[in-house]
Structure 1
Amino acid sequence: MCGFLGEFLINGTAPMKSNEFEILLSLSKQRGPDTTIIERSDNYQFGFNRLAVLDTSVNGNQPKCSPSGRYLCVINGEIYNFKELIDIHNITGLRSTSDSEVLVHMLDQLGVEQTILCLNGMFAIAILDTHTNMLFLTRDFAGIKPHFYGVSKHGVVFASQFNQIWKHPFFKDVKVLRQDIVKEYFGVGYMQAPNTIYKDIYQVNPGELLFINGDGNIQQKQLITFNKDYESYSREASESFETRLHAKLNESIKSQMMSDVSLATFLSGGIDSPLISAMAREHEKTIVSFTLGVDSEKYDEREAARAYAKHIGTEHQEEVLEVQMVLSSINTHFKHFTEPFGDYSSIPTYLISEQARKRHTVMLSGDGGDELFFGYPRMTDVLQRQWWFSIPFFIRKPLVRLLIKMKIYHSWAPYTNKSLQAFILSKQLHIPFKSLNNLFPNTSFSEEFKELYTFQKGSKKQLLHQLRWNEFYGHMQRVLIKVDRMSMAHGLEVRVPFLELKTIRTAWKYLPKFKNGKFRLKEVLKKMMRVYYPNTLISQKKKGFSVPVEDWLRNELLEDVTEAVLKKPIYGVSDESILLMHEYVHDFLIDKHHQAWGVWHIYAWQKWAISEELI
C-alpha cells in the first residue's frame, strides 16, 4: 500500500510551496515508508509515499508517467490481473515488473475509462491527462482503498488521508461542518461515502470515476456497481453455484498471492479466514498462518486457530498479548485515525497488524465474507419481524405493548420503529434514534444515507438481497476503513480475496435456501469449508478477538474519558447538544444505561479532535 497527495490547480493559482507540500505529504508516510517522490508543474503537484511490494527496485517508484508522456499517474493499492492484462493487450516495452507500469501502458493504449474498466484489484488512482488538462480520480468497486478530495475555487486537492485535505491551505481556515454527516457519525461511527463531516470535502464512491477539467468542473460516472434489485440473484442449483464460487475464490486467492515480499494469512477460529488460509495453502505449501491471542479465555482463539493450522499443515505463528499491553496501546492507536472513527474493534486490529508486520509485509484476510454470504444474525432478525411492519403503526403500537404485557411477545422493535427501514437502521445505530434526534434537532440524515437505508417491499428473498446490498455499501465500509487505517499504521498491506471483482459478481447471484422461512448463516462457505476441514472443527463457536469496552470505559479508561469528554466541549456541536452528550456519557458511567458503543463514538470523536488540535 501507499499514500499520495496531489493538487490540480485552476484560475492561475500557484502550487503550494515545496516545503509545505512535503510536510503535508509526510502525514501519510506510514502508509508508504520506503520511498517519497514528488512531481511538479505550473498547475499540479503529485506526491507519493511508497510501500514497495511488487518490483521493489526504483523502477517501481511513483508518480509514474506513461510511455507517450501523456499521462501522469499515482496508484495506492494493487492490480491483481496486471499480468493477464499484459497478454490480453500485447503490452511490450515494460520498464519494470510493477502493476503501475502496466497501468500507464494501458492508459496510452485504451484511454482512462476503458483502462479502469479492465482493472481487477483494490486501488485508489489519480491520473492527469496532460494533453487535455483533465484530472481523473477513481476508486476500486468495493471501497477497499481510501480516496478523499476537496473542491475549492483554486482547484482540487486529492489524497489518501482525510487530514491531508482539510489541512491544505485551501480548506484549513474555512472548514465548515456538515451537521447531517456529524449526526451520521455519532450514529454509525464513521463517515459514509461520498460525504465527509466538512463541506466541499468528499470521498470517491466505490467504483466511481470523476472527470475534472481545467476549469474545475466535475462530472461523475459510476463505472461498476452492484445491483440493489432482486433480479440479480441466480436460480441455479446450489451444487453448481458452490463449484463456481469455489473456482472464482480460488482464482482470487492465487492472483493475490503475488508478492516480492513476505506474505502470510490471518487465521482465526471462525469460517472466513480458515477458508482463505486453506485455499492459500494449496497454492503455497510453505504459507504461514498468523494468530494473535490474548490472556482472556472469553476472547482467545488460539486453540481453535491452532487446530485449523495443524489440519491444513500451515507453518503457524502466534503472538500473545496481555490485557495491560492492549490498554497501553489505545492512545497510540487513536493517533493513526486521521478522520473520526468509532469502532472499538480497531484496537485489536491495530495490535494484530503491529504483530504481523514484525514478520510479514502482506497478509490475506477474510473480510467481506459476512457481508457477501449473509453472516450477520441481524439479517435473520429482520426477516422474522418483517411482517409486523405491514400493520399500520397506530394499530401495531398498542398491540405490541399488550402482547408484551401478556408475555406472548418479547421484542419492542415493532413498537419503537415506525417503519422497516427505521428498524434496519436501528440495528446499525449505536446511539438510539431518540437520543440522536435530541442531540441533533431539526437535522436529517444526508440523501445518500437515506438511500442506503431505503428498502422496497417484497418477498423474504427480495428483502434479504437488499440487506446484503445495504451491508456491502454500509457496514462493510466501516470494516474496510478500520482494516486499512490500522494496517497502514504499521506499513502492512492487507488483501481481501472475498472482495475480488469476479468473486463479488459470483456471490451477488446467490441467495441461500429458505426452510420454514429461515436460512442458515454463511451456509455456502461452511459447505466449502468441509472440503478442507472436518465438521468437528467447523462447528466450533467463534469467540471473536474483541475487548471488554463497557468495563474499560467505566474503570481503566474512566480518567481519560472524563478528561476528553466531560471536561471539554464536544467539537462541532451546539452548547445544548454538549450538555446532552455530557449527560449521556455521565449516565453510562454511573450505570444508568449500557450503550457502550455510543459512548465510544463520542470518546473517539473527541480523541480525534484533540489529536488534530481542533479543541
Structure 2
Amino acid sequence: MARVHAIRASLGSAGGRFRKRVPACVHCDWRARLEVPVWCRIRGCLRSYLHLHRRDGGVGFHAAVLTGVDGARRRRSHAAQPRRSGRMLRRPVAGTHSPDVLCRGGVGDGGIVLRVGRADPGDVHSLCFEVDGGRALMCGLFGVASVAPLEIPATLSALRAARDTLIHRGPDSQGDWFDAHVYVGHTRLSILDLSTSGAQPMLAGGVAMAANGEIYNFRQLRDELASDCRFVSGSDSEVLLHGYRVWGIDGLVARIEGMYAFVIYDSKAGRVHLVRDRVGIKPLYYAHLDGTLVWASELKAIEAYAEPLDVDYTALYDFLTYRYIPAPKSLYRQVRKLEPGCLLSFDCRSGRLDRSRYWTLRAAELELDNGDPTARIRALLEESVRSQQVSDAPLGFFLSGGIDSSTVVGMAAADHSNPHTFSIGFDVPEHSELHYASLVAKHANTRHSSATLHETDAVGLVAFMRKWFDEPYADTSALPTFLVSRLASQAVKVVLTGDGGDELFAGYDWYAAHAKRGQVAGSGWVLGATGRLKRRGGMVRRAARGLERYLFLSGLPYYTRLLGGMIANEKTDYRERWEVPDDYDDYWYFRQHYHTALPLPKRLQVLDFHTYLPDDVLTKVDRVSMANSLEARVPFLATPLIEALFALPASSLGRDKRLLQEVARPLLPPAILDRRKQGFGVPAAVWNDGVFDRTRTRQENLLAHLYPEFMT
C-alpha cells in the first residue's frame, strides 16, 4: 500500500508552495532511511523531509512531517537546522514506489538545491545522498596505530564513530579490521568491482590495506603480479595489497599511477605506511600523539577521536596570506597534512615516525628532440583520458566551456558516443560560460545538463563551507563546483574534469601580470603609509590596496596580492591578536617553492603546481565532489603528461596556452580555441552581499561568518 503526501513549504508573506505530489511509503522506519531536508527558497524555512530509499526497480521518495526519535511529531523554527540523517538502506522497503517523480527544493541559509528527475533503476546510488549541514554521501580512511594496546573492544565504539564521520565519502559499505595495536577503518564508494569482494580493508599474508582513489594502471600491475598472487576481486585496490607483498613499499609507490591515499599495515614487520599520490589529488591527515598515530581522509574524523586539539594560530595567519591553510599545517597544532608525493611510516613497537618523499617534480628545461611537441602531448593526454574512463559505475564530464574541460570532453567523444556532460552558470550573463559549454556539447554530441547559480543560493551555501573543509578556506568557486557536482551526482558516480590544465600549460592571467611588473618595488615608507591607510577599513582600505598592487608591490608580495592574499602590512592587527612572532615569515610557503634559477614563467608554474594546485584547486574538487558521492578524476595530472610538459621550455607552451590550443584543434570549434580564459570564480564584483562584501578581503569575510570565535 502507498499513499501520497503533498510537500508544502510556507513562504510567509511571500506565499507559495511546492506543488509536486510525491509517493510515500507507509510502513518504513524513518530512522533507517536517508533523509533530505526540503527547504523553501526564502531563507530556509523547513517544513518537511524528503526521504529517499532503495526499492527493486527504482528509488522511492517519502515526504513526511519531521519526527523525533520516539516517533512523536515535532515542529522546528525558521532558524532550526536539519537533524543528522540516517543511512542508506541495504534491503528493499515494503510498499509501492514510483521512480518517475520530480521534486524541487531550494536554497536558503542552510538549504541545498535538489532537483531530481526520473530515477534510473540501474543507478539508484546516484540519487542517494545524505545532507547534514552540508555533508552528503566516497571512500574514506580512518585508523589508529599505537605502541600501547588500543583496549579493543572497550574503545571500538569510539573508533567506529570517528570512522563514520566519513560515511559521506563511502556510503556503499563500511568496514574495519583491528588487532591489539592497530585499527584500520574504511568507508566505501564502489566504482570498480561493485561486488562485496572489493570491500575493504583487504587482508592477505599478515598485511591489511585500505585505500581511497583509483589506480589507473592496475590491470598492467595485476598482470605482473598474477604469477605470484591470487586475486579474489576485480578491484584496482587489491593491486596495492599484493604489490606491497611482492615489491615492498618503495617498489609499490614507484609503479602505481593514479589518484590515491592509502594505508598499509604489515603486522609481521610491525609497521604502518601512509601514502599520498604524487600531486595531492586525494587528501590524508595524520596526528602523532604520545606514541599513537591517527590518520584520516578528512580533519573531522581526527577531531572526533582525538579531542581536545589546540588551534594553531600561525595557520590562521597563513590563511589570510594564501586563502587556505598550507600543507603540512592544519587548523590544529597536533594534526598535519601528508604532503603530495610523500610516504609516512610508523613503527608500532618504538613509536618512531619517518617521512620520506618518493616523487619529486623535475622542472629542468630540456632540448626538444623532435621539434614540435604537439603530437606527443596529444598522445599522452589521449591515453590519460582513455585510462581514466575505466569504471563499473556511470561516468560523465564537467564542462565549463573553457579549453581545458572542453579538450577532455572532445577526446572522450572521439572514443565514445553521447558522453554525459554537466555545466553550471551564473545569474550574471556576462560572467556565465553556459553558452560556450552548450557549444562544445553540441559539437561533441553529448547529453548535456546545466543549471544556474543565483546570488541568494550562493550566500546560503557559504554556511556549508566550514563542514566541507573543516578549516578556513576562501575559494568561493567551491560554491558552483558543489552545485555542478550535485547536478552530476543525479546521473553518474564518476566525472572527469579539466583541473590542472592551467598549471601544466601556463594558463593563469597572473603569469603575464607578474612578468610585466618586473622588479619595481615601493620603498619602506610608502608601504608603511599604505599599511596605515588600510587599517582605516572600508573604501579607503580598498583604494590603498589597489594603489599598492598597481604601483609599489613586486616579488612574492605582488604574487600574493594577485592571488587574492593579504600581505604583511595589512595583517598587523591579526599578528597582535593571535600572538604571531614578529620574525614570522609571511611568505614561507611560497618561498620554499620559488626557484629563482628557473625562468620566470616556469618558476611560476612550479610554484603553482606545489601550492595553489594541491591546497586550493584539488582540495576544493575533492571536498565538494565527495559531498555529493561523486568521484572526480583529473586527466591532466597523469604523471607522464606532467613530466613531459615540465621538461619543455616555457617558449614551447606559448602565450594563452597555445600548445594546448594546437593539441585540441582537431577536436574543438574555433570559438572555444580562440577565446580568452574566463575562470570559474563567482561574480563577486556584482554580488556584494555578506561574504562577498568587497570592502574586506574574502578571507576576513569568511572568518567573520564561519569562524567568529577567531575574530574577537
Cα 1:300–1:124 change in 2 (3 A) is same
Confirm whether residue 260 of structure 1 aligns to residue 405 of structure 2: no
Matches of residues 257-296 of structure 1 in structure 2 within 5 Å? Answer: 257-296=389-428
Report the equivalent of 2:471. Answer: 339
Cα 1:300–1:149 change in 2 (3 A) is same
Cα 1:427–1:323 change in 2 (3 A) is closer
Cα 1:503–1:447 change in 2 (3 A) is farther
Shift of 1:115: 0.6
Contact 2:381 2:641 in 1 (8 A): yes
Report the equivalent of 1:213. Answer: 347
Specify the code of the residue in structure 1 equivalent to 2:701.
W
Report the equivalent of 1:406. Answer: none
Q: Which moved more, 1:89-98 or 1:197-206?
A: 89-98
Shift of 1:197: 2.5
Shift of 1:531: 1.6
Shift of 1:54: 0.2
Matches of residues 23-422 of structure 1 in structure 2 within 5 Å? Answer: 23-66=161-204, 69-91=205-227, 92-168=229-305, 171-173=306-308, 175-214=309-348, 215-227=350-362, 232-236=364-368, 240-388=372-520, 412-413=548-549, 416-417=552-553, 420-422=555-557
Cα 1:451–1:351 change in 2 (3 A) is closer
In the TM superposition, what whole-angstrom CA distance separates every residue of 1:183-222 from its partner, at most 9, and x where no partner exists? 1112222121111121121011100011111222111110
Whole-Å separation in 1 of the counterparts to 2:249 and 2:432? 48
Q: SS of 2:372's equivalent? A: helix
Cα 1:113–1:319 change in 2 (3 A) is same
Matches of residues 442-481 of structure 1 in structure 2 within 5 Å? Answer: 442-443=580-581, 450=588, 452-454=590-592, 455-458=594-597, 462-477=599-614, 478-481=616-619
Contact 2:505 2:659 in 1 (8 A): yes
Specify the code of the residue in structure 1 equivalent to 2:215.
I
Cα 1:125–1:492 change in 2 (3 A) is same
Whole-Å separation in 1 of the counterparts to 2:448 and 2:589? 44
Whole-Å separation in 2 of the counterparts to 1:595 and 1:331? 18
Specify the code of the residue in structure 2 equivalent to 1:58.
T
Specify the code of the residue in structure 2 equivalent to 1:122.
M
Q: Which moved more, 1:437-446 or 1:94-103?
A: 437-446
Whole-Å separation in 2 of the counterparts to 1:449 and 1:13? 41
Specify the code of the residue in structure 1 equivalent to 2:707.
Q
Contact 2:527 2:569 in 1 (8 A): no
Match of 2:669 among 507, 510, 534: 534
Shift of 1:102: 1.5
Give RMSD over aligned pairs. Answer: 2.9
Contact 1:179 1:443 in 2 (8 A): no
Shift of 1:338: 2.2
Relative to its length, the structure with more helix (as a share) is 1
Report the equivalent of 1:598. Answer: 699
Cα 1:448–1:438 change in 2 (3 A) is closer
Whole-Å separation in 1 of the counterparts to 2:224 and 2:162? 39
Contact 1:344 1:549 in 2 (8 A): no
Q: Which moved more, 1:71-80 or 1:16-25?
A: 16-25
Q: Which moved more, 1:312-321 or 1:17-26?
A: 312-321
Q: Which moved more, 1:435-444 or 1:141-150?
A: 435-444
Whole-Å separation in 1 of the counterparts to 2:248 and 2:499? 32
Shift of 1:113: 1.6
After TM superposition, the score normalised by the length of structure 2 is 0.72
Matches of residues 428-439 of structure 1 in structure 2 within 5 Å? Answer: 428-439=563-574
Cα 1:395–1:12 change in 2 (3 A) is closer
Q: Which moved more, 1:7-16 or 1:349-358?
A: 7-16
Contact 2:425 2:453 in 1 (8 A): yes
Contact 2:213 2:282 in 1 (8 A): yes
Shift of 1:474: 1.0
Whole-Å separation in 1 of the counterparts to 2:397 and 2:356? 35
Q: SS of 2:315's equivalent? A: helix
Contact 1:180 1:445 in 2 (8 A): no
Report the equivalent of 1:499. Answer: 637
Specify the code of the residue in structure 2 equivalent to 1:471.
D
Q: Give unmatched runs, 5+ long, in structure 2.
A: 1-137, 529-545
Contact 2:330 2:471 in 1 (8 A): no
Confirm whether residue 547 of structure 1 aligns to residue 670 of structure 2: no
Q: SS of 1:136's equivalent? A: strand
Contact 1:264 1:287 in 2 (8 A): yes
Q: Give unmatched runs, 5+ long, in structure 1.
A: 399-409, 562-587
Specify the code of the residue in structure 2 equivalent to 1:130.
S
Shift of 1:236: 1.0
Shift of 1:318: 2.5
Whole-Å separation in 1 of the counterparts to 2:583 and 2:398? 36
Cα 1:354–1:553 change in 2 (3 A) is same
Match of 2:658 among 523, 535, 554: 523
Shift of 1:503: 1.2
Contact 1:150 1:200 in 2 (8 A): yes
Cα 1:445–1:111 change in 2 (3 A) is farther
Confirm whether residue 489 of structure 1 aligns to residue 627 of structure 2: yes
Higher relative contact order by CA 8 Å / sep ≥ 6: 1 or 2? Answer: 1
In the TM superposition, what whole-angstrom CA distance separates every residue of 1:316-345 from its partner, at most 9, and x where no partner exists? 223345544444433345432323222111
Cα 1:397–1:152 change in 2 (3 A) is closer
Specify the code of the residue in structure 1 equivalent to 2:328.
P
Whole-Å separation in 2 of the counterparts to 1:445 and 1:339? 25
In the TM superposition, what whole-angstrom CA distance separates every residue of 1:329-372 from its partner, at most 9, and x where no partner exists? 33345432323222111111111111110001000000001111
Whole-Å separation in 2 of the counterparts to 1:41 and 1:236? 54
Specify the code of the residue in structure 2 equivalent to 1:114.
G
Shift of 1:237: 6.7
Q: Which moved more, 1:333-342 or 1:521-530?
A: 333-342
Shift of 1:291: 1.6
Report the equivalent of 1:572. Answer: none
Whole-Å separation in 1 of the counterparts to 2:367 and 2:698? 40
Q: SS of 1:336's equivalent? A: helix
Shift of 1:519: 5.2
Report the equivalent of 1:401. Answer: none
Q: SS of 2:183's equivalent? A: strand
After TM superposition, the score normalised by the length of structure 1 is 0.83
Whole-Å separation in 1 of the counterparts to 2:420 and 2:698? 34
Contact 2:396 2:492 in 1 (8 A): yes
Contact 1:192 1:449 in 2 (8 A): no
Contact 1:32 1:51 in 2 (8 A): yes
Specify the code of the residue in structure 1 equivalent to 2:376.
R
Name the count of aligned residue pairs.
Answer: 551
In the TM superposition, what whole-angstrom CA distance separates every residue of 1:519-541 from its partner, at most 9, and x where no partner exists? 51211111112121232332234
Q: SS of 2:141's equivalent? A: strand
In the TM superposition, what whole-angstrom CA distance separates every residue of 1:50-102 from its partner, at most 9, and x where no partner exists? 00000010000000113xx2211111000000001122344552100001112
Identity of aligned residues (%): 28
